[in-house]
Chain A
Amino acid sequence: MVLTRRRFLKSSAVAATGLALAACVPAEPSVDMPAGTGGDAAMTEITYLIRSDIGVKIQEWTDEAIADFATVEPNITIETIGVPWGDYNAKLLAQYAAGDPPEISANYAAGFPTFYANDAIVALDELVSENNVDLSVIEQAALDAVTRNGKLWALPLAHLPTIVYYNLDALEEAGATIPPIDWADTSWTTDAMLESANAAAQDMDDPTKAQYGMIFGNGQLGVFEWLWGADPFNDVGGPEHTEAYKTGIVTESFYDSETMNNFIGWVYDAIYGSSPVSPRPSDTDAIQQLVGWPMMSGRIGMAINGAWSVTNFAAVEPSWRWGVGAFPYGPAGVNTSPLFNDSWMLGKGAKEQDAGFRFLQYLAVEKGAELYAKITGFFPAHKENYPIYFDSLMNIPNFALSREEAETALLDAFNYGYVTPGKTLDSYPEWNRTFNQTMGPIWNAEVSVADGLAQVQAQFESVIESKS
């Protein structure tokens, strides 16, 4: 075909007009620009950077809390920026580098130790006393988790233990033991749990049909080995002996210890042993990434996970009955529950420190916290909001426990808990990456547990050395 010049010019002219038009239409009326409006001079704008990948409920909560805050503090406007975790730090660091960090950073404390270590956040003690904030309403363990060098560096909104979830219909049908709610029940051991899982497991040779007994977490660095008296960073036993959890700095690792071998060997046997009860990690990983928590498929008898997972039941509304129970006692005679907290931080160098703290205060101890307990389904750190949380928990369909039972199962966990390394180690993402990468060969049954752990240990030693 022959393209005539006129035809070409005509199309360019149309294009150019489009360009001019599009360039002239403002994307958004600039109502929220503080400079241009010339309105109330006392208006303060703060930036609120929040992870957007926690679930739709968080967005609902954010919207409601900000709308309500506007009635409490009409002179403070909030610019909310939602960013998924994968790019959260990229955004945050760009803002820091440009000298304009957000006042409030909410990343569910996934970055707390790193931010603390990199001097990115401010201590809140002075602001707390200036504003007469009563912190006694917040669970002390949650406050302890964000206290360093005697100072408070963040305000917790949620405080979450790790618990056992179970599919009551599946366990009952198999005649398997139901996990108890009583955390002091020493008859509920890892062996008892394995036995119960064995009873519940069916068709294990066909992954497309199998009914699995349990998923005993395998993707987290240094938490479940506590039950075996192991810890990656000390050779004595549980987490209380690890200096690194207090200083944040890892100086030694013990992945090749006997107790660690026992623990990993136990989980490995549950997957690949003569009578397997757990799905292969490559399957659970795939499901986890694709559809979410594997438990929700209805084909898992029991699963260990953080208390945030109740939100899955609220979202999916499964047709089977389910419940929650206590952690089993391990060979070391303890049932230490890894504790998580979701804490909000005030950015160092952010322009509006006072307004920022005012909002933080609203979220942690005022109406914001109440809405958090009501809407998000995360266990609140604010103790007075416990009833609100349990109200909403009891509304989730097919929850098999009474309110009292649920309170026992969840609240008692804190007496048996210890903060997870993810909330204490400085370079946690780096350790976690090292752990996940090097454990691959074991979880995929490509090496023996002993050989695999020797490799894990070697890699940890090499990272430790590179940091010194």
Chain B
Amino acid sequence: MGRRSRERLYKAIALLLLLPGILWVLMPTVWMFSAAFSRLEQIMRWPPDLWPDPWVFSNFYEGFAFLPFGRYFMNSTQIAVIRVMGQVLAASMAGYAFARMQAPGKNLLFILVLSTLMLPYTVTMIPQYIIFQRLGWIDTYLPLIIPHFDGGAFFIFLFRQFFRSIPDELTEAARLDGCSYFGIYWRMMLPLSLPVIAASSILIFQNSWQELLQPLIFLHDNGKYTIPLGLARFRSSYGSSPWHLIMAVSIGAALPPVVLFFIGQRFLLSGIVVSDK
């Protein structure tokens, strides 16, 4: 069998594996979509009656009009975009330092960075709230953004791993030419790391978009709410939650990260042809 046809066979097998997987992945969302287009009374039936009858398209309008979701969208977007930029920059810088430089205390510092992931947030939340309160940051977006400008251990570690995968020879020459550390980081490392920049941007955006507890604790004013806080206001522990509206809004709210991922793939999958330089 020739190389071409073997490649084609692999791809066919891969597709055969992926397609049933799609059913598995979509299965739980079927109910969400069905509910988003049903009347509340139909959702209340059990076993669930998955085919909406009648189809209700106004759930989307009604859901988004129920609370000022337009504003929540702006709020969430603003926080997420700023956070992505600051965090990617800081994380890649720190990751570069850990991957490519030698300094006293480096290993200990690296463990310290990782250790920030190991303590449940439940017990550091209140001390952190006190700090933000002393700074006058409560009920502003600053607590949701500025602390992430440290890069965050997840992403520092991620960039470190990627930067360590880049062969030394590439940077050695630049260094001998007198290129500064910052020059190497900015002109070589970052451009060579487009996939990981894309991956971390997607993930940071997603984290920020979905974060519920922190905005809930640090924001007071309804007008400053983010999407997940808005969604949480629909829920009712005692009465009947308006699930038709919750699902409609949940689906609408998932669109920005989906679009970001759809576009971001191009960068995520951009293999860099090093030898062309």
| Contact surface of A with B, Cβ cutoff 8 Å | 1-5, 8, 15-16, 18-19, 22-23, 25, 27-28, 32, 47, 52-57, 59, 79-85, 87, 90-91, 93-95, 97-98, 100, 207-208, 283, 287, 290-294, 296-299, 308-309, 311-312, 315-319
Say yes or no: is B40 at the interface (Cβ < 8 Å to chain A): yes
- Residues on B with beta carbons closer than 8 Å to the beta carbon of A291: 43-44, 46, 240-241, 243
Minimal Cβ-Cβ distance residue in B for A35: B136
Q: Which of A8, A52, A91, A317 contacts B191 (CB 8 A)?
A: A8
Instruction: Pick 25 A–B contacts, CB within 8 A, sort by A.
Output: A3-B270, A5-B187, A5-B191, A15-B85, A18-B85, A22-B78, A27-B78, A81-B220, A87-B213, A87-B217, A90-B216, A90-B217, A94-B126, A94-B130, A97-B127, A97-B130, A98-B129, A207-B47, A208-B47, A291-B44, A296-B44, A299-B46, A311-B239, A312-B240, A316-B44
- Residues on B with beta carbons closer than 8 Å to the beta carbon of A82: 222, 233
Say yes or no: is B264 at the interface (Cβ < 8 Å to chain A): no
Given contacts A98-B130, A98-B133, contact A308 B44 (CB under 8 A): no
Q: In whole angstroms, how far apart are the Cα atoms of A53 and B239 in the complex?
A: 9
| Contact surface of B with A, Cβ cutoff 8 Å | 40-41, 43-47, 66, 75, 78, 81-82, 85-86, 125-127, 129-130, 133, 138, 140-141, 187, 190-191, 194, 212-213, 216-217, 220-224, 232-243, 270-273, 276-277
Q: In whole angstroms, how far apart are the Cα atoms of A52 and B241 in the complex?
A: 12
Q: Are A293 and B240 in contact (CB under 8 A)?
A: yes
Q: Are A316 and B41 in contact (CB under 8 A)?
A: yes
- Residues on A with beta carbons closer than 8 Å to the beta carbon of B41: 316-319
Number of A-B contacts (CB under 8 A): 144
Q: In whole angstroms, how far apart are the Cα atoms of A16 and B85 in the complex?
A: 8
Nearest Cβ on chain A to B87's Cβ, whole angstroms: 12
Q: Are A292 and B239 in contact (CB under 8 A)?
A: yes
- Residues on A with beta carbons closer than 8 Å to the beta carbon of B212: 87
Q: In whole angstroms, how far apart are the Cα atoms of A59 and B133 in the complex?
A: 27
Given contacts A94-B126, A94-B129, contact A297 B44 (CB under 8 A): yes
Nearest Cβ on chain A to B170's Cβ, whole angstroms: 14
New contact pairs (9) apart from A1-B271, A98-B129, CB-CB < 8 Å: A8-B191, A32-B221, A82-B222, A287-B46, A291-B46, A296-B240, A308-B239, A315-B240, A316-B240
Q: Which of B46, B125, B216, B277 contacts A297 (CB 8 A)?
A: B46
Q: Are A28 and B223 in contact (CB under 8 A)?
A: yes
State the 8 A-B residue pairs at the shortest beta-carbon distance, nearest first.
Answer: A55-B239, A292-B240, A94-B129, A55-B236, A98-B133, A315-B240, A53-B237, A311-B239
Q: Which of A85, A91, A316 contacts B40 (CB 8 A)?
A: A316
Q: Which of B236, B241, B272 contacts A3 (CB 8 A)?
A: B272
Q: In whole angstroms, how far apart are the Cα atoms of A27 and B221 in the complex?
A: 11
Q: In whole angstroms, how far apart are the Cα atoms of A79 and B224 in the complex?
A: 13
Q: Are A54 and B213 in contact (CB under 8 A)?
A: no
Q: In whole angstroms, how far apart are the Cα atoms of A15 and B221 in the complex?
A: 28
Nearest Cβ on chain A to B236's Cβ, whole angstroms: 4
Nearest Cβ on chain A to B200's Cβ, whole angstroms: 14
Nearest Cβ on chain A to B144's Cβ, whole angstroms: 11
- Residues on B with beta carbons closer than 8 Å to the beta carbon of A97: 126-127, 129-130
Minimal Cβ-Cβ distance residue in B for A376: B239
- Residues on A with beta carbons closer than 8 Å to the beta carbon of B191: 3-5, 8
- Residues on B with beta carbons closer than 8 Å to the beta carbon of A299: 46
- Residues on B with beta carbons closer than 8 Å to the beta carbon of A207: 47
- Residues on B with beta carbons closer than 8 Å to the beta carbon of A27: 75, 78, 140-141, 224
